[in-house]
Structure 1
């Protein structure tokens, strides 16, 4: 019963797709095909990310990460988050385990939030595609608006959030090693 509860949304999704295949076959087949494609993509991307996270967890001591991305890191921590988020590959759901690891190792909340903002809006591969598709002026405006806003909101959230809830968030972050 615990497994059913744990996977209830997957089961519900499967039942909805099965119902669609029965009543609206073309839509159901499309939904099934898209779901399988997304699952394959996720299964190809997630294991290497977890391996990378395991290596980061072992290779980068907590003290080093705290020094460069923790409370006293200053601008350097945000620059590291900018580089990490910019050179990223993959969908945003891959960034969350990395953000969890950063939190667990003592990174400042605003730096982790800025990293997520950069990952979601300013990855280099996406920017190159955006320049080719929408033009350089659009991309410059997009990045020029999104990066400062990501930084501003990261600071605001860190300022508003209570220390106890940030500590609780750190505690909830799973150990990787």
Structure 2
């Protein structure tokens, strides 16, 4: 029982410390604490609206797309096709960045090359079509195209840089932990 409690405290330490800080702020500045709580509550509700459809979609992808298929097109021997697919999937994605993390877990579970996983995550952040359309309307197409010319190679370089900086043991441990699930 004590081990389980210790595990829960360690796992939720950041949340518990944040809650304690919020309570201390409440003692000295109740208005700031209430505003902070309202903002956090709003973000939490937004997350609850976004995540369930994404989880359903991920469940369907997990069942419908065979591991061998993803490994063929995005695995270790995928080459430029894997890079293109990672960029394309990340670019057509919808939703906030935190929605990419469950999808990333599915990619790792299916054996996608780690550099392609990182490329996917970076593409989700910087080349998402919905964001590009807003950027064109707000900053103009010249700026958007110039940024893309810089960002697309940067996304690919970052994917391979992170892949090579990760030790083989760390990558093996990461992939093995997902295969056990």
User: Shared fold by TM > 0.5?
Assistant: yes
Q: Equivalent residue for 1:9?
A: 14
Measure the CA separation in 2 of the matches of 1:151 and 1:38.
31
Measure the CA separation in 2 of the matches of 1:15 and 1:44.
27
**Matching of residues 149-164 of structure 1 within 5 Å:** 149-164=154-169
Measure the CA separation in 2 of the matches of 1:125 and 1:42.
19
Q: Which has the higher contact order (CA 8 A, sep 6+)?
A: 1
Measure the CA separation in 1 of the matches of 2:167 and 2:79.
20
Q: Equivalent residue for 1:82?
A: 87
Measure the CA separation in 2 of the matches of 1:93 and 1:174.
22
Q: Equivalent residue for 1:30?
A: 35
Unaligned runs of 5+ in 2: none
Question: Shift in Å at residue 157 of structure 1?
Answer: 2.5
Q: Tell me the number of residue pairs that the alignment of Structure 1 and Structure 2 aligns.
A: 176
**Stretch of structure 1 that moved more, 7-16 or 143-152:** 7-16
Question: Shift in Å at residue 173 of structure 1?
Answer: 2.8
Measure the CA separation in 2 of the matches of 1:174 and 1:138.
43
Deviations 1:130-175 (A, max 9, x none): 1111221221122221111110121223234333321211122376
Unaligned runs of 5+ in 1: none
Q: Compared with structure 1, are the counterparts of its residues 59 and 31 closer, same or farther at alpha carbon in structure 2 (3 Å cutoff)?
A: same
Measure the CA separation in 2 of the matches of 1:71 and 1:174.
16
Measure the CA separation in 2 of the matches of 1:18 and 1:133.
40
